[in-house]
Amino acid sequence: MRFDVLRRPAAALTIGLLTGLSGFANAATTDNQPVLDPVELGRGIAEMNCATCHALGRDGASPMATAPAFRNLWQRYPVEQLEESLAEGIVAGHENMPELVLEPDEIDAFVAYLKSLGGPAAQ
Give the per-residue pLDDT at 29: 54
Rg, C-alpha atoms of the chain: 22
Give the per-residue pLDDT at 31: 66
For 24-66, the pLDDT digits (tens) are 333 445 567 656 899 999 999 999 999 999 999 999 999 999 8
The closest alpha carbon to 38, from 49, 50, 46, belongs to 46
> Can you give the pTM of this predicted structure?
0.65
Q: 92: exposed, middle or buried (C-beta count within 10 Å: 0-12, 13-18, 19+)? A: middle
Give the per-residue pLDDT at 5: 41
Provide the residue ranges of all domains of the chain, joining segments of one domain with +: 1-33, 36-122
Q: Give ∠ CA 74-75-76 in degrees, rounded to 5.
A: 90
* 6 vs 83, more confident: 83
Cβ atoms 49, 100 nearer than 8 A: yes
Kindly state which CATH superfamily the domain 36-122 is placed in: Cytochrome c-like domain (1.10.760.10)
Give the per-residue pLDDT at 34: 52
